[in-house]
Amino acid sequence: MTRSISLSVNCEQLTLDVSDNWTLLHLVKDELGLVGTKDGCRQGVCGSCTVVVDGVPIRACMALAVRCDGKNVMTIEGLGTNHDLHPLQQAFIDEGAVQCGFCTPGILLTMAGLLTENVMPTKDEVRDALIGNLCRCTGYARIIRAVMKAIDP
């Protein structure tokens, strides 16, 4: 069964027919071609599929697309552009917080959500917000340093 939904994805208003069983991950990656959102575990554990819905980071692999009717969705493609990086993206580059890059989109969107709620988090608050994002390359120290740099350049 399909339903028609209207939502904004990266500030673009869309009306789409979606299957009742599509996840938001399937919608953004496979139907809209926004490949920056990663498909890691499909169990809501790794955080690689994190997107921001109405200002709140969520796991796209666990959210049904039909539940996003009327919502604003931001994927990593909506965070910044090649010519105008978000301060978090620039800080990640400056601090070497990107290694293989698989987890990076989800971490960046998780941190963007944190900074929406708390514009001056402490290192401990950043660390706590990262609990749901797995990274096997960086050891998190550079990520935390990059977030702190982004809020206090």
What tens-digit pLDDT sequence spans the chain (153 residues)?
A: 999 999 999 999 999 999 999 999 999 999 999 999 999 999 999 999 999 999 999 999 999 999 999 999 999 999 999 899 999 999 999 999 998 999 999 999 999 999 999 999 999 999 999 999 999 887 799 999 999 999 986
Same-domain status, 115 and 132: yes
Same-domain status, 14 and 68: yes
Same-domain status, 140 and 117: yes
Same-domain status, 107 and 65: no
Separation between Cα atoms, residue 149 and residue 57, nearest integer Å: 21
Three-state secondary-structure class, residue 95: coil
Q: Residue 113: its pLDDT value, please?
A: 96
* 58-93: burial string, b at 16+ Cβ within 10 Å, e else: bbbbebebbebeebbbbbbbbbbeeeeebbbbbbbe
Q: Residue 137: its pLDDT value, please?
A: 87
Domain at 68, CATH number: 3.10.20.30
